[in-house]
Amino acid sequence: MRLRARLPARASTAAPRPDAPRLTPAAQTSRRAALLASGLAAVFPRAATAGAAAPVGSYLPPAPGLDGFVTFTVPMDRTPSLRAGTIKSPYTFALPAAWREGTVANIQSGNYCQPRCDEPWTEVIFSGPGGAARVMVSPLKRLTNDVRAGIDKVGTPAGVAQALGAYVTNNMPPEAEEVVAATAADVDGRATYYLEFNTPYALNPPRSLAVATAKDGLAYLFVVQATEKQWAVSEGALRTVAASFRP
């Protein structure tokens, strides 16, 4: 699941045309950044909001003990990986009742490679006034040779934050100071990492909460994100969503 480090641009050996304008170093940097952003957007397209979808509160059951939240438990025929048997049991999490389910693009869903996908794929996405959430899954063999391992065998919380951070930011791995928190917990007998990021220069919204865990040879990454404005209003609700994830 690790991204390759970006290599420095090769110096051109061709002489510039006499009439070709020379870019200043600042302009060259800006141009490279724009090209990088364009390329990453193609690989990691942003989750689309399903404007026509009904609020999840109109069809999902209330989340026990959480006013204003509902429980989403993925149906076993909902996604390509579930239909292929790659994921063997449903995952579940809580959502604000006003959020709506989005559409996962075919290139993101792993539909083209199930049941033998080697790269991470997106399962489901939801969004609403307060932020957005998505479930990403990857074969555990991308992270460790022991496909029966828990996430704690992959690395420390800080190490996993760096290894998976690019899938949270939709950009390059976060800097150390952009990882706000990285902690471990035992949840239902399963090692689980709780990660928090503040990445103001990321392509995705800057405020991110991520839950990383492993089950049945798969690594799960549940990502909850918000803009600064959304975070200021909905931080508590977003933390509730993140804490509720169970594979």
Structure confidence by residue, pLDDT tens digits, 179-215? 999 999 999 999 999 999 999 999 999 999 999 999 9
CA distances, 146 to each of 59, 161, 188, 193 (Å): 40, 20, 21, 18
Alpha-carbon gap, residue 66 to 112, rounded angstroms: 37
Q: How far apart are the first and last CA of the chain?
A: 19
| Residue 115 preceded by cis peptide, ω within 30 | yes
Domains and CATH numbers, the chain: 41-243 (3.40.1000.10)
Residue (of 176, 161, 143, 177) closest to 223 by Cα position:
161
pLDDT tens column, 123-174:
999 999 999 999 999 999 988 888 888 999 999 999 999 999 999 988 888 9
CA 193 – CA 141 distance, rounded (Å): 18
Strands 131-139 and 121-128, how do they pair?
Answer: antiparallel
What are 25's two structure tokens?
A: 């170093």
